[in-house]
Structure 1
């Protein structure tokens, strides 16, 4: 089966804001960087060649510096009781045994006025899937997500009775895998509320309804109608959904929301994240988020390209950053050499068991 995940070009580099009151000014922490070409044209097949920031040798040596200030507060999204309404007008596809929303249909709906943030229209007008402080690429599925899903199966990673955070979740497929693996709690975070409402939540609901309490999936047709007829409004949510929480907002803002919430909160046994280390300017924000939210004996599973040409990020540089901080120990548990080299990193606190 072949999958086509489209994305457009953004050659601007994003940097941290000037030092100001961190209560009001959030660091714009983009999840992904798109491929850059000299002419800024759309790349036809990112699965075959999907390296955010790919450019010429001259471009790779230049890293424009801009100070960007954005206000992006954190928000928790409640699961609507009427689950059928979430899946109305949605068109489903499947991959790796998981149901997910066809993003092109969602994008059309957003262009027709269903997008309060305006991220799709701004993405189209700017010819980019990354607009700092506006849209961070969450409507697309990126190939390292499937690398991590495969690794969970190959390494027999256990999620049973664990608390899991899908950080920079986008489609939420990693968190859904954890939910299928009997995780006790799964939290999903994405920068954009539109992504949570139109992509993440529907994906989780679709998998819950189709698979029932076991979160199992049926046949693997590439495209299908929503996974069931419109279900009646239920008095209680499916068990799997009661174990989920959904958040939008910048990493540090979501961290503050979780740690200051009146709702019971325990740190995560597992944090999963894919393609979030392309830009070194945001390593600090990511590192701090992991350090504050991971349980003392927890594990982080991070999937990434080995190198993101043009912006300088990638596995070696992030490893160096983490080593300098002296908080986590890291190990590369899988390397894929097909196409651009991709890696999966495991992280744990240095003093953990």
Structure 2
């Protein structure tokens, strides 16, 4: 199956985003975010203790789909291109901006201030970042097998990686994002419309279409494979380890999540604790994120320091900012 991505994507990237620090937050200014890129991993950890305290305030929570599915899709504009459905993010942002009360007011404020990234508060989950599509094209080109696999879409945002796995016969697909608003307003609706009987057939002419969805006839076989979580990575990892039996994933998918070195330890912990012994991580990233400090070099340094995983470069795309696809497996595994 081949998808044609004809829809509009926000092609800005985290390194181009204004890392705002609203006055009413308790963030302590991270000089690494505001200044030049860090020279090594040791320097990037200088403010990690403060940041760990900040992100620990975001507990891991599971989000359940209500019986009245149509309520989640009310006032959503759904776009369709070659069998892949997704809600229009601009409409969601406009709706949230006009809402007086919302469960995550900080996300609403970030939208109103036109900020795509506020470290430890809002992590850009409302946008579809371009490396996501690099990874999907790689899966198509290499015919990566998801059939019967347990899959985690980590830092999922719109959830397109997990939805791709779902459409390719994954056994279980779990979606995780830092912000609960992203899960409820973007990820779950996107999953629902891709499990909609009326939307399962490909758009024959390949042209993007747009419609307002008010009713949904959800294909329960697909939806029953999915679970949705929000919260900080360390808390999410602990939550899944506390499952009976503890959760392990055959495949972990993650895109543009290594932009901030402060989070590397928690990210590594998710991989170490939740990946099955013979599992694989697929990671898509810019080579470097200017103004935020992270990138492939620093992440590779941490992986080698920890000596738990073997990291491979799968593909390098050098059009404008260099983008890379990586895989991680446990040491001793091919």
Q: Counterpart of 1:5? A: 10
Q: Counterpart of 1:83? A: 69
- Residue 164 of structure 1: how far off its partner (Å): 0.1
Q: Choose from 218, 239, 242 the match for 2:203.
A: 218
Compared CA separation, residues 336 and 144, structure 1 to 2 (3 A): same
Matched, 1:251 2:238: no
Alignment of 1:29-178 (within 5 A): 59-60=36-37, 67-68=50-51, 69-70=53-54, 71-95=57-81, 97-113=83-99, 115-178=102-165
Compared CA separation, residues 241 and 86, structure 1 to 2 (3 A): same
Counterpart-to-counterpart distance in 1, 2:324 and 2:82 = 19
- Residue 130 of structure 1: how far off its partner (Å): 1.4
What TM-score results when the alignment is normalised by the length of structure 2? Answer: 0.83
Matched, 1:333 2:321: no
Contact 1:107–1:120, Cα closer than 8 Å, also in 2: no
Counterpart-to-counterpart distance in 2, 1:189 and 1:59 = 30
1:130-160 CA-to-partner distances (Å, cap 9, x unmatched) read 1223211101100000001100001110000
Q: For structure 1, which runs of at least 5 residues remain unmatched after alignment?
A: 14-27, 29-52
Counterpart-to-counterpart distance in 2, 1:348 and 1:332 = 12
Contact 1:99–1:207, Cα closer than 8 Å, also in 2: yes
SS at match of 1:320: helix
Contact 1:211–1:217, Cα closer than 8 Å, also in 2: no
SS at match of 1:332: strand
Q: Counterpart of 1:271? A: 252
Count residues with an aligned counterpart: 305
Matched, 1:290 2:271: yes
- Residue 221 of structure 1: how far off its partner (Å): 3.6
What TM-score results when the alignment is normalised by the length of structure 1? Answer: 0.79
Compared CA separation, residues 266 and 82, structure 1 to 2 (3 A): same
- The worse-fitting range, judged by mean Cα deviation, of 2-11 and 328-337 is 2-11
Contact 2:177–2:229, Cα closer than 8 Å, also in 1: yes
- Residue 318 of structure 1: how far off its partner (Å): 1.2
* RMSD over equivalenced CA pairs, Å: 2.6
Q: Counterpart of 2:286? A: 305
1:102-143 CA-to-partner distances (Å, cap 9, x unmatched) read 011111111222631023432145442112232111011000
Compared CA separation, residues 76 and 318, structure 1 to 2 (3 A): same
Compared CA separation, residues 60 and 325, structure 1 to 2 (3 A): closer
Contact 1:148–1:344, Cα closer than 8 Å, also in 2: yes
Contact 2:107–2:121, Cα closer than 8 Å, also in 1: no
Q: For structure 2, which runs of at least 5 residues remain unmatched after alignment?
A: 1-5, 22-26, 28-32
1:139-194 CA-to-partner distances (Å, cap 9, x unmatched) read 11000000011000011100000000000000000000000010000000000111
Contact 2:315–2:326, Cα closer than 8 Å, also in 1: yes
- Residue 285 of structure 1: how far off its partner (Å): 1.0
Q: Counterpart of 1:24? A: none
Contact 1:163–1:268, Cα closer than 8 Å, also in 2: yes
Counterpart-to-counterpart distance in 1, 2:38 and 2:253 = 31
Q: Counterpart of 1:240? A: 222
Compared CA separation, residues 216 and 304, structure 1 to 2 (3 A): farther
